[in-house]
Structure 1
Amino acid sequence: MKKPPLYKSFGYAFAGIFACVKKERNIKIHLCFTAAVIFFGFFLHISAIEWCICLTLFGLVLSLEILNTAIEAVVDLVTEDRHPLAGLAKDAAAGAVLVSAIFAAITGLIIFLPKGITYLQMHL
């Protein structure tokens, strides 16, 4: 089987991302938090290293959310019946997203809380 040209592969990848954003509520929530972090990152002047950490975490959480959607779609394609292994696959994928989001939130607090407190102390 011949592989599609590189530009088509990118097209399929972007189509998958856009389909997830259109279909999945949770990825929209993650994107709202991403936008908020970007806003506060500029507002509070986080460092280049802190930006790199935030960007890495954006990529991790969003990628896992997309992967979770893919796993759910495959499981639903294979069976409509409630099966313990199907449930495990879906729950484990959702759990991976949750774990990454919790640790991203904790990391965000470590980065932003001291800067926010300092800003408030200087401006109140």
Structure 2
Amino acid sequence: MKKARTLLESFFYAVSGVLYSLKTQRNLRLHFFAAFLVMAASRYLGLNHLELAAVFFAVSLVIVTEMINTAVETTVDMITETYHPLARISKNVAAGAVLVAALNAVVIGYLIFFNRIRPLMTALQKVLFGR
């Protein structure tokens, strides 16, 4: 029978999982960096609470799916050392989930940021190209 964990131990293991993923997964580090930039832009552009919640949820969804992808890939690698078509499918489906989450984040970002960034892009275009 497994020993019951304390809440603090469970929290420690969860943080360890995040840190492991950050240390070993380049894509997750890129996602965290992009998340930082997006959240900074959100603050700079003055998003309202609902917009900020949508952006935060989209960013979190990408990070969560990337971590689930890492868990699936690690588990598959632990179970089989030889090529197996079902192992490939499992890994591809997990990676596909990250892709869907990332596309969702792009759409959310477009819907929320486009009208705020367009005036900046127009001004930049005038400076660069004199139009």
Query: Could you state the TM-score of these two structures normalised by the residue count of structure 2?
Result: 0.89
CA RMSD, Structure 1 to Structure 2 (Å) = 1.5
Corresponding residue for 1:76? 77
Partner of 1:89 in structure 2?
90
SS state at 1:51 partner: helix
Question: Superposed, which structure 2 residues align to 1:1-124 within 5 Å?
Answer: 1-120=2-121
Assess if the C-alpha contact under 8 Å between 2:66 and 2:98 holds in 1.
yes
Q: Which runs of 5+ in 1 are unaligned?
A: none
* 1:51-107 deviation digits (Å, cap 9, x = unpaired): 000111122111110010000000000001110100011000000001100110111
In 2: Cα distance, 1:115 partner to 1:3 partner: 50
Contact 2:58 2:105 in 1 (8 A): yes
TM-score normalised to structure 1 length: 0.93
Runs of 4 or more above 2 Å deviation: 118-124
Distance across 2 between alignment mates of 1:103 and 1:118: 24
Residue deviations 1:8-31 (CA, integer Å, cap 9, x gap) = 000000000000001001101111
**Alpha-carbon distance between aligned partners in 2 of 1:48 and 1:5, rounded to the nearest angstrom:** 34
Take 1:44 and 1:59, find their aligned partners in 2: how far apart are those partners? Answer: 20
Offset of 1:38 from its aligned partner? 1.0
Displacement of 1:119:
4.3
Of structures 1 and 2, the larger Rg is shown by 2
Gaps of 5+ in 2: 127-131
